[in-house]
Amino acid sequence: MESTFSTPAEAVLQREAGVPGLLTPPEDLDRVYELKRIVGFVRDLECQRVALQFPDQLLGDARAVAARLEEITGSKMFILGDTAYGSCCVDVLGAEQAGAQALVHFGPACLTPPACLLPVAFVLGQRSVSLELCAKAFEAQNPDPKAPVVLLSEPACAHALEGLATLLRPRYLDLLVSSPAFPLSLGSLSPELKPLECFGRRFPLAPGRRLEEYGAFYVGGSETNSDPDPDLSRLLLGWAPGQPFFSCCPDTGLTQDEGVQAGRLRARRRYLVERARDARVVGLLAGTLGVAQHREALAHLRNLTQAAGKRSYVLALGRPTPAKLANFPEVDVFVLLACPLGTLAPQPSGSFFRPILAPCELEAACNPDWPPPGLAPYLTHYADLLPGSPFHVPLPPPESELWDTPDVSLITGELRPPPAWKSSNDPGCSALTPQPQLELIESSPAALFLSSRSWQGLEPRRGQTPVTEAVIGRRGIAIAYEDEGSS
């Protein structure tokens, strides 16, 4: 009976941790991990210590890749296999601790600028793409050869976009090919020829053209995964709603209209904005320490919540998990300050007891001067909210009438009160009102939440509990204690 519904205690105690084996044959390592290009990168910089960052799914190849690079270059290689946050971001903190002079990032990457100037090389991978099937799928979904369309792909399929465009350009006249936004050296491009850079990609737009005029054809994903990955979600949320957006499986050529999925994502984000407007306490999760301008963004969000009359806590917990966030029941919503891919990572349904928002959604909830839904762009990177960005919207002054505009919650149906700090500027409330007794005017949200609970923890009862000798407790593990028998 025990083996049917649970694992025997002996099997748990005798279990050995497995070592991940090689995921790639040794003869394919040079091609899959582009070792020739990485060797040139290390030799050009004359680096003696190099950090290699692998995601969890590629750690099986880490030892073989590091040994091969050390043998060819003679430099010392350090494997960074455990990142404090998302594996898509460059772990500059781990590289600095290893004293590395450069870093090589393997696997999917968000391509956000790092916080420090460290030479970085990216190896996105090369997933096989059936160009003929993808070309036929593109022609089936785009019958008009004059319609403007841009080719997009997941990071591992970016190598095949130029080959796909070669098959399509004889017929399609307005075809744009995107490319990953790898870091460029200073002075590599003149300001006149600098392409548009957004969504972690570069778009070589012609003068006078805008990206909002183009439809999208995305190569990537799979037929079995119904939920879009963070990279596709970033594109669906930020793309022009009126333009068509199709995705194509690179293996089978099966296409899917992502318009319905984009509508669901936007509706979900509008719901999160309403939750943020109803919230009184906001938890700001520090989801990155290696991306540029994260300190400025954190200060901006704290100022934003204070102006809206909300309390905020800054929490540095590493990767957010339901168990970690459950320790803060007084927090109404959490805002994850991370890279675009980390912010939009899919969350298991019903796992977190409070919703997790993106910085753009908190901006829309707390800034009364933010454009209404349908007119405001969905910004996937928090740097776009800061001063100096073309999308930055400053807060209105305290005396502005926008703070007193009546607002009704679309979730509870109740009228939201104006920010608490606005009442102090009211001349009718400047006189002090005597109180008959001393009262606590303001308390922390955590203390107020604790006082409202029916159970507030064990009482100390010092001096009231009799002193007894310590006794021997149970032995074994929780699945089967020694005194429970074999039943």
Q: Class for domain 28-123, per CATH?
A: alpha beta
The rounded distance, in Å, linking the Cα atoms of 470 and 474 is 13
Judging by beta carbons within 10 Å of its beta carbon (0-12, 13-18, 19+), is residue 22 exposed, middle or buried?
Answer: exposed
Question: Was domain 279-418 assigned CATH 3.40.50.11860?
Answer: yes
- Write out the chain's pLDDT in tens, 487 residues: 444 444 555 654 555 544 455 578 888 888 889 999 999 999 999 999 999 999 888 888 999 999 999 999 999 999 987 677 878 888 888 888 889 999 999 988 888 888 888 899 999 988 889 999 999 999 999 999 999 999 999 999 999 999 999 999 989 989 999 999 887 654 455 555 678 888 889 999 988 899 999 999 999 987 666 667 889 999 999 898 889 999 999 999 999 999 999 999 999 989 999 999 999 999 999 988 888 888 999 999 999 999 999 999 999 888 888 888 988 988 999 999 998 888 887 665 568 889 999 999 999 999 999 988 777 778 888 998 999 888 899 999 888 888 888 888 888 888 888 876 543 344 444 444 455 554 555 556 666 777 777 777 777 777 787 888 888 888 888 888 887 776 5
Q: How many residues does the chain have?
A: 487
Give how far Cα 21 sits from Cα of 8, 18, 59, 61, 398, Å.
Answer: 27, 9, 9, 8, 61
Place of tokens 């970016």: 158
Cα(231)–Cα(110) distance, rounded to whole angstroms? 8
CATH for 131-183+197-266? 3.40.50
Widest Cα–Cα separation across the chain: 91
The 196-198 sheet, strands edge to edge: 179-180, 201-203, 196-198
Contact partners, residue 448, CB within 8 Å, separation at least 6: 330
First-to-last alpha carbon distance for the chain, in angstroms, is 8
Rounded to whole angstroms, the Cα distance separating 340 from 88 reads 10
Q: Is 96 exposed, middle or buried (0-12, 13-18, 19+ CB in 10 A)?
A: middle
Prediction pTM value = 0.79
Query: Where do runs of H (alpha helix) occur along 239-383?
Result: 259-278, 294-307, 322-325, 340-343, 359-366
User: Hey, where are the domains in the chain?
Assistant: 28-123, 131-183+197-266, 279-418
**Residue at 281: amino acid letter:** V
